[in-house]
Amino acid sequence: MAVAGVRAQVGGALHNEVVEWLNTEAELLDDYREREWLEGMVSRDVVYQVPLRQTVERARGTGFLPGTFHLDETYGSLHSRVARNETAYAWAEDPPSRIRHFVTNVRVTEDDGVRVRSNLLIFRTRQDQTQPQLLSGERRDVLRREDGVLRLVRREVLLDLTVIGTHNLSIFF
């Protein structure tokens, strides 16, 4: 399969930098340090989307509905979510879910930005539930260097689920 741009070699400087960036991001989100994540790792012109998936035959396409999203966020809406989580009014996440991000299969290409494809598994438990919630999918990110720092410019999360069996989507992917 042809990949646009130049693929970064596994173990190469750019690939290692991106993997470290992804690991830092996962740590910040898992540790509820959402403001640090937003202000330190996300660009002000970010597009952050989770498209709606449907089950279709192969001939009918990828199964993602164009223009239809579970989440369609900007920096402003992400900022509002982070700010709300810092108040006493974040009822959907108080007490907060216990979340662990597992990011694997990192593929990096460089052309008009640093393009990153990775697989994501989110393990989530809430309150005293004994059944964890699992969300898996592929992330397609675009990172850009701003003032010498990589920042997230675009994130598209392609979930493997057609029906999300969780009571809210207040987590960050």
Confidence (pLDDT) at 160: 92
Contacts of 90 (CB under 8 A, 6+ apart): 84, 170
What CATH number corresponds to the domain at position 77?
3.10.450.50
Residue 166 lies in a domain: no
How many domains in the chain?
1
pLDDT for residue 2:
47
Closest by CA position to 125, among listed 137, 116, 133: 133
pLDDT, average across residues 134-161: 96
168 in a structural domain: no
pLDDT score for 4: 64
Look at 4 and 8; give whichever has higher pLDDT: 8
Residue 169 lies inside a defined structural domain of this protein? no
Confidence check: pLDDT of 108 > 90: yes
Residue 144 or residue 131, greater confidence: 144
1 confidence band (pLDDT: 50, 70, 90):
very low
Q: Give domain status of residue 171, yes or no.
A: no
Count the residues in the chain. 173
Distance CA(145)–CA(153), nearest Å, equals: 10
pLDDT computed for residue 3 by the predictor: 56
**Residue 87 domain flag:** yes
Q: Is 141 helix (H, G, I), strand (E, B) or coil?
A: strand
- Sorting pLDDT into bands at 50, 70 and 90, what band is 122? very high
User: At residue 28, does pLDDT exceed 70?
Assistant: yes
Say how far apart CA 77 and CA 41 lie, in whole Å. Answer: 16
Tell whether 164 is covered by a domain. Answer: no
Domain of 58 in residue numbering reads as 6-159
* pLDDT above 50 for 63: yes
Gap between the Cα atoms of 108 and 17, Å rounded: 10
Span 37-51, pLDDT tens digits: 999 999 999 999 999
Average pLDDT, the chain: 89
Asked if pLDDT for residue 30 goes beyond 80, the answer is yes
Does the structure show a pLDDT above 90 at 167?
Answer: no
113 within a domain of the structure (yes/no) = yes
> Whose structure tokens read 């809406």?
77
Confidence band, pLDDT 50/70/90 cuts, at residue 5: confident
Range name among 46-50, 75-79, 131-135 with the lowest pLDDT average: 131-135
